[in-house]
Amino acid sequence: MIRGECHAALITAPGSGQGKSMVTAALARLHRNAGRKVRVFKHGPDYLDPMVQEVASGQPVYQLHPWMTGEAECRWRLAEAAREADLILVEGSMGLFDGAPSSADLAILAGLPALPVIDAWGMAQTFGAVAQGLANYHPELTIHEVIANRIGSPGHGKLLADSMPEGLTLLGAIPRHAAMAIPDRHLGLVQASELAELDRQLDAAAEVLKEAGLDRLPARVTLEAAAPEPPPRLLEGVRIGVARDDAIAFLYRANLDLLEAMGAELAFFSPLADDSLPACDALWLPGGYPELHAARLAANVPMRTAIRAHHAAGRPILAECGGLMACVETLVDGDGQAHEMLGLLPGTARMAGKLTALGLQFLATDRGELRGHTYHHSRLETAAEPLGRTRKLAGSEAEAVYREGSLTASYFHGYFPSAPEVVAALFRGEPLTPTAKTGESP
């Protein structure tokens, strides 16, 4: 049994757009700058927020989701972190009670107090009513205090503090400030690697929070869980080339950890900048923003040639979402410009100008159930017949999974630890048969 004790809170909000991502990052940097070891986690499937949280905390960030990662893994990762951290912050997703399982469900499961961030712009005494509603909605959820964001003046902050109902306090009131804003684009926040002044901004944001009285630590909690069994060494001796740069960048740390724990050796490369592949037995092309870098991808003829040769030699390739878009014949970007891609899968990936798919899904196979999600703004036009389809939690069919020679490609992002045997089969090029299982409710 793993057991740890530290200060901890789940940072949440009444809904998206309230500022919880930047507040979480600023809190992490504030306490890190004070000499504390801070661990940040993210509820649910998200690649972009964790990039910023890793820069803010200086520590790796992992996903927690009772359905996608599993309840046991949620408890284990938190307990393991509590053994060494002074502070654990879990950034919620959407609103506190949104989704199934929601951020509130995770807080209840793990025994964490929730700390809502409420955008107070245009709000006075109603702020207290919103805080009271969040605190009283679920009897098993603990909320002792809240944070006001985007206040207009010190007087506004006092008005909000005076509106708090009995049993709740205002931890702090954050003024509107340029340091508290990070640019975003269609898939979420801009990648941390693209923000040249991010460290300086995080330090400035930490000072904003300190001046607002947010340097006090949240409640101390005890977290415990059973240690997981090590995964089977199904990838012993397999060397996997992993694409990683600004175009292909969406990588769960837990996925990388699992591959190595199963015996794989990882070799990273850049489809944008490198002119050859590392020596490898298999390739992984994760998601990312190929549409923003399509011209550079198309211009890198040596890399296209190397990946095509890998495919022609019958070596496995797994392509997820942005990786799938890089594998088609043509990618049409948001400006309507067409770019030549790898041509391993017939057809065209075309930016749609709007969200085309979103949600938790799973791929049921004869070797297990791989859980994950989908989120994209493009459409695939192809004559290829899918090998099978993922399913939504309710059981209806969702994303197509294609198999073209040694290539397996889909818009679906898999969470590898949910099905190690499926993952091993993909990277070893072994047969994998989708089944019609309808899945379990979360």
Active site positions, annotated: 321
In DSSP terms, which residues pair with 282 in a beta bridge? 240
Q: Please, are residues 173 and 190 in contact by the beta-carbon 8 Å criterion?
A: no
Q: Which residues contact 79 (CB under 8 A, 6 or more apart)?
A: 2, 3, 4, 223, 224, 225
CA distance 176 to 212: 11
